[in-house]
Structure 1
Amino acid sequence: MSFKLLFKSLLRRKLVVALLLIQLAVTLALIVNSILLALHARELVNRETGLDLENTLMVSLKPTSPALGKEPALSDLMERQLAALRALPGVEAAAYANQAPLVQGGSNSTVEDLDDPQHVRIDVVPVSVASVDIIKALNLKLIEGQLPDALDPLIDFSVVDIKTLDISTRGAVVTESVAKRLYGDQSAIGRVTTNGRIVAVVSDFTSQLSMENVNYQLFNIDHMYPGAVSYILFVRTQAGMADKVKSQLADTLRAADSNIDIFFVRSLAEQRDELYSRQSGLAVLLTTLGALMLLVAMVSAYSNAFFHALKQRQEIGMKRAIGASQNLILRELFSEAWLTTGIGCVLGVFASLGLNKLLASVLTIPEVPFWLPSITVGMMIVCVTLATWYPAKVATNISPASAAKSL
């Protein structure tokens, strides 16, 4: 059967065919992007983070008393909390920071070399204020330099103007990615940046997903900013002790000082799962919708083929009467189904690209690879073929005699 005759046949059922084409296009777009999201979510969850996820715990909290949010009371509170945590059996290190790793966004700053303004500048780098043991608590590896063994001197900002502060007196620890981006193969130790003098370079770890490089991170080993809304306490445990230590954290911290609000206690593994829950949840939702749409498309293809065969009963009977074989009738009906599916899938490829752009504006999702629509198109053709088979088989059994009776 020629394409011209196939198109004429489709044009006789404009509304039905148009609805089926829209259905096929939307189905393909949903399936392509749900598969893409599922693959991306799996890749993110399994990606190496550079952190000891199972044996590192984090507690988000803040003091409830305004007096505890001021110095020196704040530093005293945090030292008492860290001392209580380090005393727990199974705890290897404890530290504080003003923000957690494995997050979508947070506190960031521009970092550049003040000694060489013409050098590379990184516009967005996560910057955290942290205590001395933060590197040990996160189980990071020292690449070069020497980790600070004490906090920088406490600054009284009621007396010191931050604009006149000598930034070279403040120590900074950066990840390897930051050091290589700024200085290439040269040593970063001793270089003065807009966020302090680099005293150590540590191994990369996943900091913020919104960054150009998720492994960028700079730590200022310093006192927590007074009046901070909340802060994070990190606790690294011995292998296999995380659950036991986790169950004691809230009570231990309240015993050190009851004037605190604890927002959550979780492991870094749970933090990672929370970070990617949006992608995973949306992948499940789109997969479910895609499966339902595929089922509906199969039912529609079945109904379309079945009622088309009934309407063409006389025409099929006449073809049989002039010698058309059952295989020829079968090929004609399948050809119509395949042509409709092909057109719907072409529209679906464009729809999948549009949906991908829309999703990319609200979450992280890769671009559609060329092979994914091809596989999805093949799957849809198989499904439509299966849905069309029974109506087509029934149509081939129409006899010339039954066609004559309808005259």
Structure 2
Amino acid sequence: MRDSEAPEKLRPARLSAADILRTGAVGLHARRARVVLSALGISIGIATMVAVIGLSTSSRADLMARLDRLGTNLLSAEAGKDIQRNDVKLPKNAVAMVERIGPVQHATATADVETRIRRSDLVPEERLAGVTTQAARPDLLTALNATTHKGVWLDGANQHLPVTVLGAIAAERLGITEPGEKIMMNDRYVVVVGILEPIELVPNLDRVAMIGFPAAEKYFGFDGHPTTIFERSTDASVEDVRDVLARTVNPGGEGSVKVSRPSDALAAKAATDKGLTALMLGLGAVALLVGGVGVANTMVISVLERRQEIGLRRALGATRNAVRLQFLTESLLLSAVGGTGGAALGAAATYAYAKSQGWTAVVPPWSLAGGLGATLLIGALAGLYPAIRAARLDPTAALNAT
């Protein structure tokens, strides 16, 4: 070598991405029990968040499907009280007047009937079953998209007879399981000819024993005035019909008529579920934060326990940056293990619960991606300080550490 030639400057070797991953994985493999416990905290947080999002999304999807099936174009007009707080009676021809509204496709009615319902005459009169009586028209089920569970509905023939159709809850309270059994209305036996499926749009009818308008007038002194009008119109005209329904049902006394859309109650339930979802997501975020603290604690302890290893690596030529990357990679891998397990657990919980409820399970892909992204962010933040601390260790002091 000639004197004029300068010695070649030595440069530290650089680890490839594969080497960094391998080094980080070895550090985790050596402390498996601690890794599992630390990853569990991350898993719980991610599983909670994914399951909450999945279950709320599945619930809302099921609710929207039910609304589509039941229809959102049903309106009800119910008699209330006048300004003197007296009960208002709707005109007997209220249904016919509503049917004259152009967009209305179907109109029907129910009416309260004063009776005392018992299972039999052996039950004292003061021990009522918590079931009320309403007169109903034969076209009520068509308007409400309701169905019978057992037996038949009121029709043109039996609506004149002392027969009744029970709502689902009414049948349960009276202990009626099959059509053909009898119950007492006042002092008269009536035959149960049918039991309804639960009526989702008008759940108060589940607690009612329904009889025909003619039978109510003939046997129970009913005056023929309807209490509630139900109508269906085209979807595009619901709001227009809503604006004129009260004064059509009761001209001159529209202020005493309460108009509502039964499907609004189901839609409100979806809004309520959103509030509960936000609360549960907050709890999931807290669990995720606790898991991140666990990861940070694990990595700090790992640095303290491995000072001699760090010192040896530095003495053999590992740069500060290589040491930083090693411990940061360990933290990211630890969080990724917990996040992946948590996402799988949350998705499994969503599918299992949705199946038990008869829902279509929906796990939004963004919830999985967001969960894993949050996991990696927590891992990076949790591992940053331990990685910097490890890189700052003096090789000589680290090798002499006990």
User: Aligning the two structures, in what range does the TM-score lie when normalised by the shorter sequence?
Assistant: 0.5 to 0.7
Q: Do structure 1's residue 38 and structure 2's residue 68 form an aligned pair?
A: no
Tell me: CA distance 1:253–1:9, structure 2 relative to 1, closer, same or farther (3 Å). closer
Tell me: CA distance 1:199–1:78, structure 2 relative to 1, closer, same or farther (3 Å). farther
Trace 1:80-229 onto structure 2 (pairs within 5 A).
80-97=93-110, 129-132=134-137, 133-139=139-145, 147-148=155-156, 169-172=162-165, 182=177, 191-194=180-183, 196-198=190-192, 206-207=199-200, 219-222=210-213
Shift of 1:221: 3.0
Trace 1:232-243 onto structure 2 (pairs within 5 A).
232-238=228-234, 240-243=236-239
Question: 2 CA distance for matches of 1:67 and 1:235?
Answer: 26
Shift of 1:234: 0.9
Tell me: CA distance 1:254–1:323, structure 2 relative to 1, closer, same or farther (3 Å). farther
Tell me: CA distance 1:54–1:36, structure 2 relative to 1, closer, same or farther (3 Å). closer
Q: Deviations over 1:167-190 (max 9, x none)?
A: x72343779xx9xx955xxxx6xx
Identity over the aligned pairs, expressed in percent?
12
Q: Deviations over 1:197-244 (max 9, x none)?
A: 355788x56438999xx9998633345999xxx954211224643222
Match of 1:55 among 54, 73, 81: 73
Root mean square deviation of aligned Cα: 6.1
Greater CA radius of gyration, 1 or 2? Answer: 2
Q: Do structure 1's residue 395 and structure 2's residue 392 form an aligned pair?
A: no
Query: Who is 1:273 aligned against?
Result: 267
Could you list the runs of 5+ residues in structure 1 that have no partner in the other structure?
11-16, 100-108, 115-123, 153-167, 358-364
Q: 1:47 is paired with a residue of what secondary structure?
A: helix
8 Å CA contact 1:41, 1:280 repeated in 2: no
Q: Deviations over 1:77-125 (max 9, x none)?
A: 35254343233222233233369xxxxxxxxx9999x9xxxxxxxxx99
Q: Which has the higher helix share?
A: 2
Q: Deviations over 1:270-324 (max 9, x none)?
A: 233134443343234434653x447746864785577668767944531414659
8 Å CA contact 2:103, 2:237 repeated in 1: yes
Return the TM-score normalized by structure 2: 0.54
Q: 2:231 is paired with a residue of what secondary structure?
A: strand
Trace 1:255-404 onto structure 2 (pairs within 5 A).
255=251, 257-258=253-254, 260=256, 262=258, 265-287=259-281, 290=284, 292-293=285-286, 296=289, 300=293, 304=297, 314-315=307-308, 317-321=310-314, 329-330=326-327, 333-334=330-331, 337=334, 341=338, 383-389=374-380, 391=383, 395=387, 402-404=394-396
Q: 1:395 is paired with a residue of what secondary structure?
A: helix
Shift of 1:145: 6.7
Q: Deviations over 1:53-76 (max 9, x none)?
A: 13321234423378964xxx84xx
Question: 1 CA distance for matches of 2:77 and 2:200?
Answer: 17
Tell me: CA distance 1:62–1:9, structure 2 relative to 1, closer, same or farther (3 Å). closer
Give the residue type in structure 1 aligned to 2:261: S
Tell me: CA distance 1:295–1:33, structure 2 relative to 1, closer, same or farther (3 Å). closer
8 Å CA contact 2:41, 2:294 repeated in 1: no
Q: 1:194 is paired with a residue of what secondary structure?
A: strand
Shift of 1:34: 4.2
Question: 2 CA distance for matches of 1:371 and 1:94?
Answer: 37
Question: 1 CA distance for matches of 2:66 and 2:236?
Answer: 22
Q: Deviations over 1:14-56 (max 9, x none)?
A: xxx99x97686456435423432331232232137763x1332
Give the residue type in structure 2 aligned to 1:270: D
Q: 2:102 is paired with a residue of what secondary structure?
A: coil
Tell me: CA distance 1:126–1:2, structure 2 relative to 1, closer, same or farther (3 Å). farther
Give the residue type in structure 2 aligned to 1:207: E
How many residues are treated as equivalent by the alignment?
327
Return the TM-score normalized by structure 1: 0.53
8 Å CA contact 1:61, 1:231 repeated in 2: yes
8 Å CA contact 2:247, 2:254 repeated in 1: no
Q: Do structure 1's residue 6 and structure 2's residue 31 form an aligned pair?
A: yes
8 Å CA contact 1:171, 1:197 repeated in 2: yes
Give the residue type in structure 2 aligned to 1:64: D
Give the residue type in structure 1 aligned to 2:103: G
8 Å CA contact 1:192, 1:198 repeated in 2: yes
Tell me: CA distance 1:148–1:331, structure 2 relative to 1, closer, same or farther (3 Å). same
